[in-house]
Amino acid sequence: MIDFLRHIHPEVYGSLILFLILGILAIIIGIMADKANPKNPPWLVMFAEYIVESIEKFTVSKMGQRFKAFAPYLCFVTIYMVMAFLLPLFALPGPLTSTSVPLCFALITFVSLHVVSLKYKGIKGWASRFFEPFIFFLPINIITFPSILISLTFRLFGNAVAGEVIIDLVYWATNSPFAKIGMPNLIGPLITPVLHAFFDIFDCYIQVTVFVLLSALFISRESEIEVKKKKVKRKLNKGEV
């Protein structure tokens, strides 16, 4: 058992710590919300309510009312990824630097968009993507089929790893001259806070926004054909066409 634990990557421990933190926060906020005065709720409850309402508005505005059920997923993705990017600030391993974590989120989005496609287009409509624009494009379309899964995974993973690698290189480069004379690194701690601010905070905002926005657009666009058909039917019924 001990040997097994030794082979677990630090990112897995970071993810478990993050889930523990999120679980404890969820329990605390739930208890506080039950006991809170509706006229004067605690700031933590108000902040949690603000996040949930913001994600719901975002989901409806980008995906439509019919996809409001995806709001909890997008909310969890947003909160998890923001905290995952911020973990290295507290000297904890970032879960997103392990390919398994970005892959899991990308896989959920990938499966969801195809489920939505089957729901609104049917099997025939879903399968037509492999023959567009001509049947001769079938081999190319089959090869590019997992492109969304790959791009979502490696975009998130690459940016998370890039920041960590650059910061490690700066620590190593600034520490080498001092290590030769037996002194602690005096330059690295002065430079790296700026890099941490960029890669762990600013880059976090960009990557989380891009992932959530692309997930919402990829999923919602799978119902576009059905929406167009309904609009045409409405015009036919009104005699506009």
Helices (H), the chain: 2-6, 10-35, 43-63, 71-86, 100-127, 138-143, 147-180, 188-196, 203-220, 224-238
Return the pLDDT at 17: 86
Q: Is the pLDDT of residue 234 over 70?
A: no
**Domain parsing of the chain, residue ranges:** 2-238
Q: Is the pLDDT of residue 206 over 50?
A: yes
Return the pLDDT at 6: 61
Q: Is the pLDDT of residue 106 over 90?
A: yes
Query: Cα separation of 218 and 105, whole Å?
Result: 14
Q: Among 41-45, 100-104, 171-175, 221-225, where is mean pLDDT lowest? A: 221-225
**Most confident by average pLDDT, 25-34, 162-171, 178-187, 189-198:** 25-34
pLDDT band, very low/low/confident/very high, at 190 (cuts 50, 70, 90): confident
Cα–chain center distance at 72: 13
pLDDT band, very low/low/confident/very high, at 227 (cuts 50, 70, 90): very low
Return the pLDDT at 229: 47
Return the pLDDT at 16: 84
Return the pLDDT at 231: 47
Q: Is the pLDDT of residue 105 over 50?
A: yes
pLDDT band, very low/low/confident/very high, at 241 (cuts 50, 70, 90): very low
- Please report the sign of the dihedral spanned by the C-alpha atoms of residue 9, residue 17, residue 90, residue 47: positive
66-82 pLDDT, tens per residue?
888 899 999 999 999 98
**Most confident by average pLDDT, 56-60, 93-97, 124-128, 157-161:** 56-60
How many other CB atoms sit within 10 Å of the CB of residue 152?
23
Query: Cα separation of 36 and 150, whole Å?
Result: 44
Exposure string over 180-200, b if 16+ CB within 10 A, otherwise e:
eeeeebeebeeebeebeeebb
Section 82-106 average pLDDT? 85
